[in-house]
Amino acid sequence: MRRPAITLDPRIGTYDHLLGVLGAEYSLVEYGDFECPYCRAAAPVVNEVREKLGERLVFVFRHFPLAELHPFALSAAVASEGAALHGLFWPMHEKLFSGDEPHLTQDDLRRYAEEIGAKPEKVTWPATRFVEDRVEADFNSGVRSGVRGTPTFFVNGELYDGDTTVDALIDALVR
């Protein structure tokens, strides 16, 4: 007997960080942590899936910082939200996942801000206190949606439990 699918709560909306168009044929949501090595490994996979599906896919990133395991994850998430206030979430997202290892100290976050054209003082504490609620809201939605670790993907609104490969994700999305 098949168990009922675990669904995304809330559904994708205008409040999300989107790459693609809301209402696209396919949707991929990632709950991620900028310090997580598995999220870092998944980033190029997601980029290739996006490239192959093009306009038919909307990709959403939601924060799920595992602060007990990753001491810089929360400050990185908050920095990305600080950048988002200036329309620079995705460039910051790319910087945070670049390289072989995470570099997420306050100095690193300031440097990334400069590199993407944001004011460094706008993406680090204390200026980012007012975006902490956004990170917490994403985390809470992950808990409601059954997220237990990172990365966790939702394919077309349902929890995905397959391999994090280009072929597996595309198969799940288009079936």
Which tens digits make up the pLDDT trace of 57-82? 999 999 999 999 999 999 999 999 99
Asked if 82 and 116 touch (Cβ cutoff 8 Å), the reply is: no
- Would you say residue 12 lies in a domain? no
- Would you say residue 9 lies in a domain? no
pLDDT value of residue 1 = 57
According to DSSP, residue 34 is labeled T
CATH number, domain containing residue 61 = 3.40.30.10
- Would you say residue 5 lies in a domain? no
The one-letter amino acid at 157: G
pTM of the complete model: 0.95
- Would you say residue 50 lies in a domain? yes
Domain around 163? 17-174
- Would you say residue 157 lies in a domain? yes
**Mean predicted confidence (pLDDT) in 18-44:** 97
**% residues pLDDT > 70 (the chain):** 98
Angle at CA of residue 98, ends 92 and 100, nearest 5°: 155
- Would you say residue 71 lies in a domain? yes
- Would you say residue 49 lies in a domain? yes
| Tally of domains within the chain | 1
Q: What is the CA radius of gyration of the chain?
A: 16
